[in-house]
Amino acid sequence: MSLFWRIFGLNAVVLGAATALLLWAPVTVSVPVVLTEAVVLIGGLVVMLVANAALLRIGLAPLDRLTQQMTTVDLLRQGHRLPVAGHGEVAQLLRTFNEMLDRLETERATSTARVLSAQEAERRRIAQELHDEVGQSMTAVLLELKRAADRAPDTLRADLQHAQETTRQSLDEVRRLARRLRPGVLDDLGLVSALTALTTDYATHTGLAVHRRCAPDLPALGPETELVLYRVAQEALTNAARHADARNVELTLRHSRTEVVLDVCDDGRGLGHAWEGAGIRGMRERALLIDAGLDIGAGPTGGARVRLTVPLPRDAA
């Protein structure tokens, strides 16, 4: 029975009972009203109000849950659905809302996949241009400075050597940026080698003590899965270096028969009540691409922990 007919039926029953009492029962209203008549009228009113309040509370409770879900829904945290019971219009509304969430999550995952694919392609192009165009040009400048320094008089040689050293440092920085944009070692040598190079680079340039433990016998993973694992580790290390005031970071990559787990823990100040920024939401979007679970919270000894759990396909398991 729909909510309308339940409320209407209850009111009809109460009003019908009151009318029947007035027509056939020896119930009258005196003028002025005596105490017993006032008690009967007020009691009937209270019963009707309580019955209506109880029915409305029960009937509108699913709508309250729907309102709360609509204000807190996050398409990056999939799987939250409202329970549906019955066949009335409220149940149909909840069922329609759940179906709408299914469509929105599917469309969000599809559009996110296209955006991230275009982003990786653009990163690859920029990294290639930095390596081929800018890197080669700076290498040529470095050689020219060396030749000029060899032929220059003593008064200018120190300045040219200083310019040569500055150019060499800039060339190293360009190459490092190119590796961050698109890790060639990931394509050539695999995930473990790429994570080794990544942690070494962060330890060298940020001063963090990065402790790395990677299982050597990882199962075969697809290129997209390896890229997601690498990007999540990269973003977690970046957050630890920039925002956590951490001194030590531990990166662990392990696997079981059914899943591969990446853990990045730091000893910084933790998340607290910090709002999720673009970096964390980017990690969640990447995790959705491969149906992985991402858990970001407090570490076992303080600080923050980022855990990415990647389920293995049945044939790989």
| CATH number of the structural domain spanning residue 297 | 3.30.565.10
Does a structural domain hold residue 90?
Answer: no
Does a structural domain hold residue 84?
Answer: no
Higher pLDDT, 134 or 52: 134
| Most confident option among 32-36, 58-62, 146-150 | 146-150
Q: For 99-113, what is the mean pLDDT?
A: 78
Does a structural domain hold residue 79?
Answer: no
| Position 272 confidence tier, pLDDT thresholds 50, 70, 90 | low
Shared domain check, 196 and 317: yes
Q: Where does a domain end: 72, 97, 124?
A: 72
Q: Where does a domain end: 13, 37, 72?
A: 72
Q: For 119-129, what is the mean pLDDT?
A: 78
Q: What is the span of the domain harbouring residue 224?
A: 184-317
Shared domain check, 190 and 63: no
pLDDT tens for 242-268 read 877 788 889 999 988 889 999 998 888
- The CA radius of gyration of the chain, in Å to the nearest whole number, is 34
Does a structural domain hold residue 277?
Answer: yes
Tally of domains in the chain: 2
